[in-house]
Structure 1
């Protein structure tokens, strides 16, 4: 596919046209040619729109960089406050929204920068213009259930930490009949509708929709199987927990785990969503989380991941190479249960409107407490940064006041687990022989038995234990587990 400005992907030193591309970059960018594309665009992002437009007139290469759609999309989001009529590109949208003198949609003449090579300019355009590959939509391996009781849901899905689609919940919501575009526009009183409704080319997560449009809260109900939410005990101090999600075709959510080790549900009122999920111990291909899990590096867009990595979806960075991820298309009127700490990515196949909520049940409580206990502002989320380190203490205080039996159960199970670990350590010591040159080495296979280390001294990956748990149907997740079922 040809970029409208003639920009090409980076071909490399051994491909034809490399000399021409280098010469054009040098001539067109001058002293700026020594900067990588990322740095150049970061500098341009700091310019005012008028200055950026003037810079574009300097050369064909600068024209291509200064017309990068993501720069003008930022101006629209920052300055137009959702009041726009998308014109096919963000620069035209901005100029029309600002009522630029003499501007008429489609009247700008685009200069070509033929020969300029830049992945940073070419790839976002390619992702925005290419269609969804039908092969991405073929796999359906997530259970679809109806009529699940609370006990059945807990035993079959929540305790095993396994995703499931419920087909008989959202269909009963008044929102299914009421949430037309005119209805939502009236509900928001025109204040935020362009940014939070379909046909807006921007995906929007609105966590205040029940405050700005209170009647919407009456149009859906929390399913009974998800109603056990202990974060309710924090009242107004609870972390962010519910969102109205609206977005167009090919928008969505990049790879992430839900905050604070909570579980979630996502109910689709209109449209369809492609979901891919990996269990906690398996990192999706192309995703690089930091050691503490606070940051995640992945391709710049959802479409780029599908284009570059979907065919390698069974390749993972753990012992479970060849793992088949959970995949499905979540249809209008269906609701997805997202288990705690599962990686997931979502791609909208249509214009979509959905409601999602995160929750803490008795099953997930030990894991949430373990997560919050870090008191790290980088790991705890959903509230102001200065309040994150104290969320654990506030939550424990609320549990002591309203549900002390749960804290007692968690503490008892934690103590029992420590006792079992100590007993296993003592038992392992009884079988050590004189051949043990190093403490903790298992004579049978040469691996560390007592301290969880490998024979070469490296820490044993947590993934192996989790993978075994996933195979036998028990909960598999990162972080500390109190090891009990409710």
Structure 2
């Protein structure tokens, strides 16, 4: 493990800003911008977006964490080593004035051969050209038919392109540590990949839990008032709960079926080989919307819980957008803050493993998250762990605290329409999630879709044909609610089941 002054580094991390806007579909661009955490960011006149508790301590590195491959240290260490010169600066030439982020953005235009050549120019370029996100991009862009992960993204790329080349430690791909190389930006990726979850990040559990409630109670107490709930015992009869594990899934799916993993498709054997070895900030997530079509047995071994069986999107038949997914991921994988598409609600059933959830109501934007005015784009921290490290502490002083829980195997969480949510796997996990629209949450069903007008017309016509007069009835009820509704925020009105919001507006 490299030597670094942990508290000095963390005290400066808290002032970082998110400065680039990232599209919701971020799988197609795996290298996402990170804000540099250098001393200049502290002296900037702009105040930090979130003020955190300066006394927050207790960060720890996983016992299994490797030392940083190339010896990169946080910039603060430079100021405790008098006489040291940052080798980052001495080897960049005319690129010296660029931020580390911009240097990597430029290098991302190079192919593997060019990166290999540039690595021999200087120690500084050696470190930059060996950054894993560069090689991850090359693998995901060039090996779209699948790949066998080989310990790192660089060795994976080299072994795939040059099968006869020995990439073992005793072979051709070796790395050495560069002395006196200081960079918060590069160090942060290693740090986020190897941080332990702090116990206090897992302690808060304030979601309502229910077992054996009726559909009517669910609709009145949670669906109509747009309130999250964790449901226990409602998937105990699933074959998936009894059967699904690694061995069963690999045997069932064989080597002929490939699943969507970010921008590529992989066999389960390939994906589990990757997830067993990977230690990176943003592990790839298996997230496939066509799993039941690819392997019909998977679709037959679960059923929609009784609470979610009214799905108005079903009237669109084969024209409905993707709505269900199988999700598999290792520890630390997950989804950063987002709102589910097409104004749908969702349910997520954990079959194996456990997940930490954090949810904010529609009118409360999570700290560190910056949506565009139309909601089409979201700027947020690069990784989930980075958000926890820099922004989770800010919520403890908020009057409007998020809803949090750990959803374990056999449990189902209901995520209402419009709620921001983040989820991280606390262990290797297998889950099923499904988006749906029922009458209480059908208000702005197709907002945000690229085919908004056409989808609206199709949906409205299908609803009229299947449920004559339903639109007029929903509009009437909405007007009645508006008369009764007090001027409360959505957060304050969560507990008041008489207050709802419905507007049949597209």
* Bucket of the pairwise TM-score, normalised by the shorter protein: 0.7 to 0.9
1:341 aligns with 2:362: no
Q: Which residue of 2 aligns with 1:405?
A: 469
For the residue of structure 1 that corresponds to 2:92, the secondary structure is helix
Report the CA distance between 1:416 and its aligned residue. Answer: 5.7
For the residue of structure 2 that corresponds to 1:269, the secondary structure is strand
Query: Residues 134 and 402 of structure 1: is their aligned pair in 2 closer, same or farther, counting only changes over 3 Å?
Result: same
Report the CA distance between 1:244 and its aligned residue. Answer: 0.8
Report the CA distance between 1:38 and its aligned residue. Answer: 2.0
Query: Residues 413 and 146 of structure 1: is their aligned pair in 2 closer, same or farther, counting only changes over 3 Å?
Result: closer
The structure with more radius of gyration? 1
- Partners of 2:159 and 2:165 within 8 A in 1: no
Cα-Cα RMSD: 2.8
1:265 aligns with 2:330: no
Query: Residues 169 and 388 of structure 1: is their aligned pair in 2 closer, same or farther, counting only changes over 3 Å?
Result: same
CA deviation profile, 1:130-167 (whole Å, cap 9, x unmatched): 22222221122212222121101111111121111112
Q: 1:322 aligns with which of 399, 408, 412?
A: 399
Q: Which residue of 2 aligns with 1:301?
A: 383
Query: Residues 467 and 174 of structure 1: is their aligned pair in 2 closer, same or farther, counting only changes over 3 Å?
Result: closer
Q: Which residue of 1 aligns with 2:117?
A: 54
Query: Residues 65 and 175 of structure 1: is their aligned pair in 2 closer, same or farther, counting only changes over 3 Å?
Result: same
Q: Which residue of 2 aligns with 1:454?
A: none
Q: Which residue of 1 aligns with 2:175?
A: 110
Q: Which residue of 2 aligns with 1:37?
A: 100
Query: Residues 475 and 44 of structure 1: is their aligned pair in 2 closer, same or farther, counting only changes over 3 Å?
Result: farther
Cα separation, 1, equivalents of 2:371 and 2:79: 33
Q: TM-score, normalised by structure 2?
A: 0.76
Q: Which residue of 2 aligns with 1:446?
A: none
- Partners of 1:277 and 1:326 within 8 A in 2: yes
Q: 1:136 aligns with which of 193, 197, 201?
A: 201
Q: Which residue of 1 aligns with 2:70?
A: 5
Q: 1:390 aligns with which of 435, 454, 475?
A: 454
Report the CA distance between 1:289 and its aligned residue. Answer: 1.5
For the residue of structure 2 that corresponds to 1:280, the secondary structure is coil
Q: Which residue of 1 aligns with 2:239?
A: 174
Cα separation, 1, equivalents of 2:164 and 2:272: 29
1:360 aligns with 2:423: no
Report the CA distance between 1:225 and its aligned residue. Answer: 0.6
Cα separation, 2, equivalents of 1:235 and 1:471: 35
Q: Which residue of 2 aligns with 1:482?
A: 503
Structure 2 alignment gaps of length 5 or more: 3-67, 260-265, 276-283
Report the CA distance between 1:20 and its aligned residue. Answer: 5.0
- Partners of 1:198 and 1:351 within 8 A in 2: no
Structure 1 alignment gaps of length 5 or more: 316-320, 373-378, 425-461
Cα separation, 2, equivalents of 1:100 and 1:49: 15
Cα separation, 2, equivalents of 1:341 and 1:82: 35
Q: TM-score, normalised by structure 1?
A: 0.79
Cα separation, 2, equivalents of 1:160 and 1:82: 45
Cα separation, 1, equivalents of 2:159 and 2:354: 31
Report the CA distance between 1:362 and its aligned residue. Answer: 0.7
Q: Which residue of 1 aligns with 2:51?
A: none
Aligned length: 420
- Partners of 1:60 and 1:112 within 8 A in 2: no
Cα separation, 2, equivalents of 1:18 and 1:473: 64
Report the CA distance between 1:332 and its aligned residue. Answer: 0.9
Cα separation, 2, equivalents of 1:180 and 1:471: 39
Query: Residues 119 and 222 of structure 1: is their aligned pair in 2 closer, same or farther, counting only changes over 3 Å?
Result: same
For the residue of structure 2 that corresponds to 1:300, the secondary structure is coil
Alignment of 1:219-230 (within 5 A): 219-230=301-312
- Runs of 4+ aligned residues of structure 1 deviating over 6 Å after TM superposition are none
- Partners of 1:82 and 1:192 within 8 A in 2: no
Cα separation, 1, equivalents of 2:372 and 2:385: 23
- Partners of 1:72 and 1:91 within 8 A in 2: yes
1:63 aligns with 2:126: yes
CA deviation profile, 1:406-447 (whole Å, cap 9, x unmatched): 2121333456678x59xx9xxxxxxxxxxxxxxxxxxxxxxx
Query: Residues 474 and 103 of structure 1: is their aligned pair in 2 closer, same or farther, counting only changes over 3 Å?
Result: farther
CA deviation profile, 1:305-353 (whole Å, cap 9, x unmatched): 11222222235xxxxx322211111111111111111111101011111
1:239 aligns with 2:321: yes
- Partners of 1:145 and 1:165 within 8 A in 2: yes
Cα separation, 1, equivalents of 2:251 and 2:452: 36
